Amino acid sequence: MTSEIQLQASSVELAKTLDSLSTSLSTYLGYLGLPTDSVLVELDERRKVINNMPYIMPALTEGQRNSAMYISKFSAACVVGLFDAALNYLWDETIRNLRLKVVQFDLDYFYDTAITDANQRSRFRDESDLEKLDDWVLVRGCRETGIISDIGYRHLDYIRDMRNHASAAHPNHNELTGLQLASWLETCIKEVLGKEPEGAAIEVKRLLRSVREEILSGTDVPPIAEAIVRLPEDLAHSLLRTAFGMYTDPRLDANIRNNIRFLAYEVWEVCSEDAKYDIGLRHGSFSANGEVSRANLARDFLTIVNGLAYLPGNTIAIEIISALDALLAAHNGWNNFYNEPPLARLLQSFVPASGNIPGNVSGKYVKILTMCHIGNCYGVSSGAEPIYSMLINRWQDSQISQFINLTRDSEIASRLQFPSCQTRCQRLASRLVDQATHPNVKLALEFIGNFPTEKLDRIGNSSRFQTILKTVKR
């Protein structure tokens, strides 16, 4: 309590000196002949951050505060009045902390989950490789492995978007407020810096440790199977990808591969059809790239889980997956409005006029097209948007049903925080009403189109909508 009172007293004293500090800085800039207008944030806005920080920082332990170098830089930037730089420092501290959590949790599990392209995955081996991973891949991977929660992911996705467009990460003229920065600091502390993985994520960590360190037998399977059944769908999918990735590594220890044989079927059974098709596509990728040993091990894995029916029928599915991965990376990266059009055209080249694509890639195809079409909080790539619309016009009832079910997807729900994404999603739903043929599909689309726009990110919680979804087959 005493330290909190001292912290609050220090912030009050600092606030009193801001006027003198700002005057001195402006005078110095003028002496150098540099601009002084709109360089530093107004004093009132700075005071809002400074006065709120004493109530936010106690959420971190003393040890966590001692290592939070970028939070010190964030605080200094707020005091000086450089809010765009402060946001950048806050994001840097968040990313640093997430990387540390990944290493402490399970690095291989994270890589197998976050990096879906088999060729790219081979380039990520140790802790140093985390720096090569795009921020959006890191954040999404932390959600899929349970290191952060769905709510935490949605908050961080919003902050990441603001950091990309309103911080000192690149030139901009966006104005940030003191309360915004204080709120984002609290969110990053609450969801990342001061929080450790819990619940189902810890179960996965224990299971992976047992697979790597113990020698399992048939009698060990039933209690483990009970734990696997309780896993959320996303974590079960992540565990399947990791088990498959480990099993197909020719360098894997024989005892570990044998442990996976005991548990593979149990994991496979609780996963969705999309997750199973994803494993089949990975076998096809190994074969297409001449990785004979890995392809043979992949077929062995599919045999163990009775999953040979999920093998891809032709190479076009692999080409579409590759094009989708490239498009999503561009969409979530820098200069996405400029980089998306050529990759959208590449994807278009693989989709016939009928719209028929292999069923094992349809779910991913619909999701990524939806994300690109509704855009981010700053809009949609104007050069790529006509291509997205053309491809969506080719959707049939099965793909429209997949779009409807995406309203419960955490990544899509995160996008639907933004008014522009909400509006575009509802317009798309209304447009698809005439395109759909099944009455239940039309009913679901009309419900989405008429749902309160500002609450669209929470439509999955509507009991009425959940009832309608039961009548819509994916």
How many whole angstroms separate alpha carbon 267 and alpha carbon 235?
10
- pLDDT tens digits for 432-471? 999 999 999 999 999 999 999 999 999 988 999 999 998 8
For position 15, what pLDDT does the model report? 59
Residue with tokens 């994001």: 91
For position 14, what pLDDT does the model report? 64
Nearest by Cα to 185 from 82, 89, 101, 45: 89
What is the DSSP code string of 59-86?
A: GS-HHHHHT-HHHHHHHHHHHHT-HHHH
For position 11, what pLDDT does the model report? 57
Assign residue 199 a region (left: φ > 0; alpha: ψ between -120 and 50; beta: otherwise).
left
User: φ, ψ for residue 376 (rounded to 5)?
Assistant: -110, -170
For position 280, what pLDDT does the model report? 86
Is residue 402 within 8 A of residue 363, CB to CB? The reply is: yes
Residue with tokens 């239940």: 440
Longest Cα separation, the chain:
79
For position 200, what pLDDT does the model report? 85
How many whole angstroms separate alpha carbon 231 and alpha carbon 205?
12
Provide CB contacts within 8 A for 315, sequence distance 6+: 284, 288
Provide CB contacts within 8 A for 422, sequence distance 6+: 416, 453, 454, 456, 457
How many whole angstroms separate alpha carbon 417 and alpha carbon 464?
21
For position 1, what pLDDT does the model report? 46
- pLDDT tens digits for 80-137? 888 989 999 999 999 999 999 999 998 989 998 888 777 788 889 899 999 999 998 9
**Domain edges within the chain:** 2-193, 200-310, 326-332+349-469
Sequential pLDDT tens for the chain (474 residues): 445 545 555 555 665 677 777 778 888 888 888 887 777 888 889 889 988 998 899 899 888 989 999 999 999 999 888 898 999 999 999 999 999 999 999 898 999 888 877 778 888 989 999 999 999 899 999 998 999 988 889 889 888 888 876 655 544 455 789 999 999 999 999 999 988 888 888 889 989 999 999 898 888 889 988 889 988 888 899 999 999 999 999 999 999 999 999 999 999 999 988 888 888 888 888 887 788 999 899 999 999 998 887 877 666 788 888 899 999 999 988 788 889 999 999 999 888 888 888 888 999 999 999 999 999 878 899 999 999 999 999 999 999 999 999 988 888 999 999 999 999 999 999 999 999 999 999 999 999 999 999 999 999 889 999 999 988 876
How many whole angstroms separate alpha carbon 204 and alpha carbon 239?
7
